[in-house]
A = this chain, B = another copy of it.
């Protein structure tokens, strides 16, 4: 992928985070990327193509974003790493807000655009898998299916809390508390009596 294409896709991510998928105008995207409208169409077939690649990019970036701390983090404390990784996504910084907002838009858009579903399901699966792995390392006593189920619940809960936060139904610190308690409960469920 050429640098320009990447630039445009990154600009589109910012515009989507700011205005939503429904609010993305090719003209505004051009302005955000600092290029002309027609250059957008030189690099992409049409608006749907821009959206497709941008949402794919958001999905891929979410993969990396999630996977990285799991690899570089303290391998000797997977439990703490799990908690940090999940709570990382409930923070009021520009980057996290952009990621969460864009991811939420990707999710919401996929309800009506089946072409997005495959990428989205794959990114979701990767994320769940990462979390399940952390759980497995933190609590070897539990079974793999139980770790997977916990990871699915925790990530789905995180998505639910995140959109409640972003839509003004839940204060951020409260969302963090609720998620923290859920993590503790799921972890406890994997502790055998001999832990």
Contact = CB atoms under 8 A, between A and B. Distances in A.
A156 B157 contact: yes
A22 to B, nearest CB: 3
Interface stretch (A4-12, A31-39, A132-140, A165-173): A165-173
A73 interface: no
Contacts of A161: 156, 160
B168 A121 contact: yes
A23 to B, nearest CB: 6
Classify chain A: how many residues form its interface, as a range.
35 or more
Contacts of A101: 111
> How many monomers of this chain does the complex have?
2
A104 B112 contact: no
B120 A168 contact: yes
3 smallest beta-carbon distances between A and B, as pairs: A22-B22, A160-B160, A156-B160
25 contacts: A19-B112, A20-B108, A22-B22, A101-B111, A105-B111, A107-B164, A107-B167, A108-B163, A111-B166, A111-B167, A114-B168, A117-B168, A124-B169, A152-B170, A152-B174, A153-B182, A156-B157, A156-B160, A156-B178, A157-B157, A157-B160, A159-B163, A159-B164, A185-B185, A185-B189
